[in-house]
């Protein structure tokens, strides 16, 4: 039986954020009943695959999975629980402050969800307004304390850096607040502006200043200095965790484990094939009403492409790539394939190659995309 990670996409939000271009909707709540019925049908259609798998992690992402009524999440989780969980299956739900309270969080915990990831983005009220978030600092802190009270010991938050008008002091204060709250996992993401988003429109019209790359890098370096000093392990380019609280689900993506994605717009990687569902809710629901998987994209991943992805994703991990693991997976020596590329990056100070490990240097973290392009 193979290990399998399951991603469940919940495409509903109370309010869309200014920078977001994900498959999510803030005007289609009337489709929730039909959507979740279809979601559970899709899970059932994948029963033959799920029956032969050990589910090592489940991740409810979005959108805002904490926005719909808990009955929908509990039903989907109940359907998945009919299959094979491991003794330590990690079950995560993303939550936005302002969409939960203590009772809702307690229901999630009682249903078996053991990890919660809050999309806080900032603890600075002025930044939250510009980002188009529905919460303020006080509400975010209250919801995190509610989660602790409800029994969650594995709590993650997202923090964003590089946003227009954001200051390094403000970003540092947000990190400090997170640490003081007892958070066990912090993701520090550089802003990625989606096309045709309100934020992009404001930037185009000059209503907000252009994003300052140097300030963005300084904020990231502040995280590299501050969070490890507070006991956090920097284990992936954008992720920091107290020992033992690394996100198992996301690590699976970075080491090319198989995963099944269900829901509108969800992506999957199984049996050397990558495929994805339609992001249109009406099409998704209609297809599953006819018991058809709403797949709109599929490609077979050949060995050469798999090797490139393994290099690019594996180098996102701070521990980098184990050369013996590479050989076991592909029956090829990593240096026979990439000797010149690796040596070039080592000479430029972007990679280190010591013993069985190839990994990014501190300098390489700033120029990671330049390194990744070498292996495409």
Q: What is the pLDDT of residues 249-279, one digit of tens each?
A: 999 999 999 999 999 999 999 999 999 999 9
- pLDDT value at position 209? 87
Q: What is the pLDDT of residues 31-62, one digit of tens each?
A: 999 999 999 999 999 999 999 999 999 999 99
- pLDDT value at position 291? 97
Does one domain contain both 10 and 85?
yes
Please, what is the angle between helix 281-289 and helix 32-45, to 10°?
Answer: 50
Beta-bridge mates of residue 276: 267, 297
pLDDT of 198 over the 90 cut: no
CB 300 within 8 A of CB 247: no
Q: Would you say residue 121 lies in a domain?
A: yes
In the three-class reduction of DSSP (H, G, I as helix; E, B as strand; rest coil), residue 25 is classed as: strand
- pLDDT value at position 255? 95
Residue with tokens 């502006």: 193
> Shortest CA distance to 147 belongs to which of 112, 198, 199, 95?
95
Does one domain contain both 98 and 229?
yes
Q: What is the pLDDT of residues 58-77, one digit of tens each?
A: 999 999 999 999 999 999 99
Triad 373, 257, 2: Cα angle to 5°: 155
Does one domain contain both 146 and 228?
yes
Q: Would you say residue 265 lies in a domain?
A: no
**How far is the C-alpha of 351 from the C-alpha of 368, rounded, in Å?**
10
Q: Could you tell me the two tokens for 186?
A: 């912090």
Q: Would you say residue 172 lies in a domain?
A: yes
- pLDDT value at position 201? 87
Backbone torsions φ then ψ of 211, nearest 5 degrees: -70, 130
Q: Could you tell me the two tokens for 228?
A: 């490890």
- pLDDT value at position 23? 84
Query: What does the pLDDT average to over 168-181?
Result: 97
- pLDDT value at position 98? 95
Q: What is the pLDDT of residues 334-350, one digit of tens each?
A: 999 999 999 999 999 99
CATH of the domain at 223: 3.20.20.70
CB 356 within 8 A of CB 364: no
* Proportion of the chain above pLDDT 70, given as a percent: 100
Per-position DSSP letters for 179-205, written without gaps between them: HHHT-SEEEEEE--PPTTSHHHHHHHT
Does one domain contain both 214 and 348?
no
Does one domain contain both 120 and 239?
yes
Beta-bridge mates of residue 185: 156, 241
- pLDDT value at position 219? 96
- What is the tally of structural domains in the chain? 2
**How far is the C-alpha of 235 from the C-alpha of 251, rounded, in Å?**
9
CB 257 within 8 A of CB 285: no
Does one domain contain both 14 and 122?
yes
Residue 224 pLDDT grade (very low, low, confident, very high; cuts 50, 70, 90):
very high
**How far is the C-alpha of 357 from the C-alpha of 366, rounded, in Å?**
19
Q: Would you say residue 286 lies in a domain?
A: no
Q: Would you say residue 280 lies in a domain?
A: no
Q: Could you tell me the two tokens for 284?
A: 């998704």
Does one domain contain both 246 and 339?
no
pLDDT of 20 over the 80 cut: no
Q: Would you say residue 266 lies in a domain?
A: no
pLDDT of 225 over the 80 cut: yes
Q: Could you tell me the two tokens for 42?
A: 């899709």
**Please, where are the H alpha helices in the chain?**
32-45, 47-51, 70-80, 102-110, 125-131, 137-149, 168-181, 198-204, 213-229, 248-254, 281-289, 303-314, 323-330, 334-347, 362-366, 368-373
> Shortest CA distance to 247 belongs to which of 328, 172, 350, 316?
316
pLDDT of 18 over the 80 cut: no
| Domain enclosing residue 207, as ranges | 2-254
Does one domain contain both 228 and 368?
no
Residue 298 pLDDT grade (very low, low, confident, very high; cuts 50, 70, 90):
very high
Does one domain contain both 130 and 232?
yes
Q: For residue 291, count other CB atoms closer than 10 A to its CB.
A: 10
Biggest CA-to-CA distance, the chain: 57
**How far is the C-alpha of 124 from the C-alpha of 299, rounded, in Å?**
43
- pLDDT value at position 210? 84
> Shortest CA distance to 75 belongs to which of 102, 35, 45?
35
**How far is the C-alpha of 171 from the C-alpha of 169, rounded, in Å?**
5
pLDDT of 132 over the 90 cut: no
- pLDDT value at position 248? 97
Does one domain contain both 87 and 197?
yes
- pLDDT value at position 137? 97
- pLDDT value at position 150? 98
pLDDT of 372 over the 80 cut: yes
Q: What is the pLDDT of residues 301-332, one digit of tens each?
A: 999 999 999 999 999 999 999 999 999 999 99
CB 199 within 8 A of CB 19: yes
Does one domain contain both 78 and 202?
yes
Q: Which of 211, 239, 254 is the last residue of a domain?
A: 254
Q: Would you say residue 37 lies in a domain?
A: yes
The DSSP 8-state label assigned to residue 240 in this structure reads E
Does one domain contain both 11 and 85?
yes
Q: Which of 224, 254, 284 is the last residue of a domain?
A: 254
Q: Which of 227, 254, 281 is the last residue of a domain?
A: 254
Residue with tokens 């020992």: 243
Q: Would you say residue 249 lies in a domain?
A: yes
CB 278 within 8 A of CB 341: no
pLDDT of 79 over the 80 cut: yes
- pLDDT value at position 16? 81
């Amino acid at each position: 039986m193979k290990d399998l990670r399951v991603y469940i996409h919940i495409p509903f939000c109370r309010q869309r954020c200014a920078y977001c271009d994900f498959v999510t909707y803030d005007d289609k709540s009337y489709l929730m009943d039909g959507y979740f019925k279809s979601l559970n049908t899709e899970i059932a259609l994948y029963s033959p695959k799920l029956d032969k798998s050990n589910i090592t992690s489940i991740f409810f992402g979005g959108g805002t999975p904490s926005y719909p009524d808990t009955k929908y999440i509990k039903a989907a989780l109940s359907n998945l629980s009919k299959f094979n969980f491991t003794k330590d299956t990690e079950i995560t739900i993303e939550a936005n402050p302002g969409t939960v309270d203590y009772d809702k969080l307690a229901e999630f915990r009682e249903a078996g969800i053991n990890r919660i990831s809050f999309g806080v983005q900032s603890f600075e009220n002025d930044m939250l307004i510009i980002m188009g978030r529905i919460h303020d600092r006080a509400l975010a802190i209250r919801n995190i304390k509610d989660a602790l009270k409800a029994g969650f010991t594995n709590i993650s938050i997202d923090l964003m850096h590089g946003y227009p008008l954001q200051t390094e002091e403000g970003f540092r204060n947000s990190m400090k607040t997170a640490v003081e709250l007892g958070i066990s996992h912090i993701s520090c993401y550089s802003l990625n502006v989606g096309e045709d988003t309100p934020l992009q429109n404001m930037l185009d019209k000059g209503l907000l200043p252009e994003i300052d790359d140097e300030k963005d890098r300084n904020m990231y370096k502040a995280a590299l200095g501050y969070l490890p000093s507070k006991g956090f392990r920097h284990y992936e380019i954008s992720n920091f965790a107290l020992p033992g609280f690394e996100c198992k689900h996301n690590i699976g993506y970075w080491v090319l484990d198989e995963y099944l994605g269900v829901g509108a717009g969800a992506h999957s990687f199984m049996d050397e094939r990558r495929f994805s569902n339609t992001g249109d809710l009406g099409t998704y629901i209609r297809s599953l009403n006819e018991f058809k998987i709403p797949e709109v994209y599929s490609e077979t991943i050949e060995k050469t492409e798999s090797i490139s992805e393994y290099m690019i994703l594996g180098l996102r991990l701070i521990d980098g790539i184990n050369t013996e693991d590479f050989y076991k997976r592909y029956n090829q020596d990593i240096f026979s394939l990439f000797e010149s590329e690796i040596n070039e990056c080592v000479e430029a100070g972007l990679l280190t190659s010591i013993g069985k490990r190839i990994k990014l240097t501190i300098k390489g973290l700033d120029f990671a995309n330049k390194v990744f392009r070498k292996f495409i």
